[in-house]
A and B are shown apart, each in its own frame.
Chain A
Amino acid sequence: MDTRFTRGKSSILERPLTRPKTKVSVSAFALLFSEMVQYCQSRVYSVSELQTRLADMGHSVGASMLDVLVLREKNGKRETKVLNMLLFIKVNVWKSLFGKEADKLEQANDDDKTYYIIEKEPLINAYISVPKENSSLNCAAFTAGIVEAILTHSGFPAKVTAHWHKGTTLMIKFNDSVIARDKALDGR
Chain B
Amino acid sequence: MSRQSNRTTDSKKMNSELFTLTYGALVTQLCKDYENDEEVNKQLDKMGYNIGVRLIEDFLARSSIGRCQDFRETADVIAKVAFKMYLGTTPSVTNWSPAGDEFSLILESNPLVDFVELPDNHNTLIYSNLLCGALRGSLEMVQMAVDVKFVQDTLRGDNVTEIRMKFIKRIEENLPAGDE
Which residues of A does B touch, CB under 8 Å?
2-4, 10, 12, 15, 19-20, 22-29, 31-33, 35-36, 38-39, 43, 53, 56-58, 60-61, 64-65, 96-99, 123, 142
Contacts and interface: CB of A to CB of B under 8 A. Distances in A.
Interface in B11-61: 11-19, 21-26, 28-30, 33, 43, 47, 50-51, 54-55, 58
B15 A23 contact: yes
6 contacts: A26-B12, A35-B51, A39-B30, A60-B21, A61-B18, A61-B21
B168 interface: no
Given A4-B117, A29-B22, A60-B21, 9 more contacts: A3-B120, A10-B117, A24-B14, A24-B86, A24-B88, A28-B55, A53-B29, A60-B28, A98-B15
A26 B13 contact: yes
A22 B25 contact: no
B86 A25 contact: yes
Q: Is the interface of A mostly helix, strand, loop or mixed?
A: helix
Given A22-B89, A35-B51, A27 B11 contact: yes
Q: Is the interface of B mostly helix, strand, loop or mixed?
A: helix
B73 interface: no
Given A12-B115, A23-B13, A31 B55 contact: yes
Nearest to B18: A97
A98 B50 contact: no
Interface residues of B, number: 40
Contacts of B47: 35, 39
B33 A4 contact: no
Interface in B73-109: 85-89, 109
Contact of B25 (A38, A60, A97): A60
A43 to B, nearest CB: 7
A20 B22 contact: no
The 10 closest A-B pairs by CB, nearest first: A23-B13, A57-B25, A26-B12, A28-B86, A22-B88, A61-B21, A35-B47, A31-B51, A25-B11, A60-B25
Given A56-B29, A57-B25, A23 B88 contact: yes
B26 A32 contact: yes
A2 B122 CA distance: 13
A24 B87 contact: yes
A27 B86 CA distance: 7
Given A23-B16, A57-B25, A31 B54 contact: yes
Contacts of B26: 32, 35-36, 39, 57
Given A35-B50, A98-B14, A28 B25 contact: no
A123 B14 CA distance: 10
B29 A97 contact: no
Contacts of B54: 31
B15 A99 contact: yes
B110 to A, nearest CB: 10
B176 interface: no
Contacts of A15: 115
B51 to A, nearest CB: 4
Q: Which of B22, B30, B116, B119 has the most chain A CB atoms closer than 10 A to its own CB?
A: B22
Nearest to B118: A4
